[in-house]
Each structure stands twice: as C-alpha cells, then as structure tokens.
Amino acid sequence: MSGDILIAPSILAADFARLGEEVAAIDAAGADWIHCDVMDGHFVPNISFGADVIKAIRPMTNKVFDVHLMIAPTDAYLEAFAKAGADLITVHAEAGPHLDRSLQAIRSLGRKAGVSLCPSTPEATIEYVLDRIDLVLVMTVNPGFGGQSFIGSQIEKIERIRTMIGERPIRLEVDGGVTRDNAAAVAAAGADTLVAGSAVFRGRGAAEYAANIAAIRAAAEAGRVPHLQNSSAQRMRVSDGGLSPVGYRRPSAPWRHLEL
C-alpha cells in the first residue's frame, strides 16, 4: 500500500462565490490535496468549471491540484489543464477509445496521470495501463453531481484494484459520498486517498473544515489498521512462485518511486 491516508476535499462542494477563499480555507484546515472536478455537460449531466478557473485559484495554495476530468473527449484539453496548474490529471476510462494514448499524453506534459472508473466499469479495464499511471480513482457514485449517496458495491472493486496494484507506487483514490461514517470501510478495502466534498464543506471556515477533515482522516486510519495487518500476513504466505506480494500474476515493470 502507498503512504499515509490523504484527504482531498472536492471544491465542487465549495461556495463558488468565494472559491479562492474556500481553497485557502481547506489548505489551512489540513487538506492534503485539492480535488478539482471538471464537468462538461456531455460526458456527465452537469457543467462545473474549466482550466481558467483552476488557473485563477492556483495561487491560493501550494497543495497538489488533483484534477479529475469528467469530460469527453479529453486529449485536446490536457495541455490547457497542465498549464493551468494541475499536478495530477485523471481521465475516465470510459471517455475515449485510446486510454493508453491519453495517459502517455499526460505524462509527456510533465504531469502525473490517473485513470477513473465509473461504478459500472469493471476493474479489468485498467489491467494493461497499470504501468502508465500514478493513481486509480474509483467512483463510488455516478459522476455528475455532488452530494450523492455512496454505492456500497464499489467496496469489492476497491479491494480488487488494491490487489491488482500490488507493490506499484500507485495511489488508490475513492470519490463519491465519502463521509466519516464510511471512511473506515473505504480504507479497509485498500484506498489511501479519499475525496470528500459535502462532508468537508459543512460549516463555514477553516476551523470547521479542519474538524471535518480530521474526523474523516481518523476514521480512515482506524479502518486501515486491520487492512495493513492482513496485507502483512498475506505477504508472508506468498511463495517464490512468481506472484507479486499480494498475489497478482502480472509482473510490474521497473519503476522509480513517484511521491505525490
């Protein structure tokens, strides 16, 4: 598993009339990343904001800008988001026919690359691009709107993707309906990066946001303990028969460790 639990508040739930202030507030409140949900009204049934808004709020924080593109097509817009200040750009596996090409394009722009899966998309979709990505994002709601309820069936998918990742330096992110009440289950399944919108932006200002972030983080850390214990036990059981430490049969390509 990757490093510490990261909390990435989604600014989709922020007060857009005070967006710059809201970004500064969640920075002060302990957010690890800033999650930017970009929607086009075509791939998903809503329009949020684009590269110009990301460029405008970029000076408000030095935290990682985790830009989630819920748009189709994607490739024509990747450079604009990279120039706007995105540190990590995630595209949907469902958004175009050439996922491998899109991921290569992101890397060529000097940005880290992620791939997202809608709830109905099987994890096998990413099997042959695992060595091109820095992050997998599992949608636990149908993308398009904030404030939806968590889809519990995705827990099993998170577990399977964690097994697929093995020892690769890939973060496993979950987005959709994440709260302090389900953060433990999400982390126990193997997620290490939690996106939360409404659950963070309850209240007003950095102090209340900090309490919300701390509660989600504490729940996730508590849920993660048994997962780490189980992972250690599983590694001890693996023989030298060519399996990765978590039993996934596809060998990992050489990687330099990528820290996010």
Q: Write out the catalytic residue numbers.
A: 37, 175
What burial class does residue 174 get, using C-beta atoms within 10 Å of its C-beta: 0-12 exposed, 13-18 middle, 19+ buried?
buried
- Residues 31-60 as b/e (b if ≥16 CB within 10 A, e otherwise) read bbbbbbbbbbeebbeeebbbbebbeebbeb
**What is the rounded distance in angstroms from the CA atom of residue 72 to the CA atom of residue 100?**
15
Q: Are 173 and 194 in contact (CB under 8 A)?
A: yes
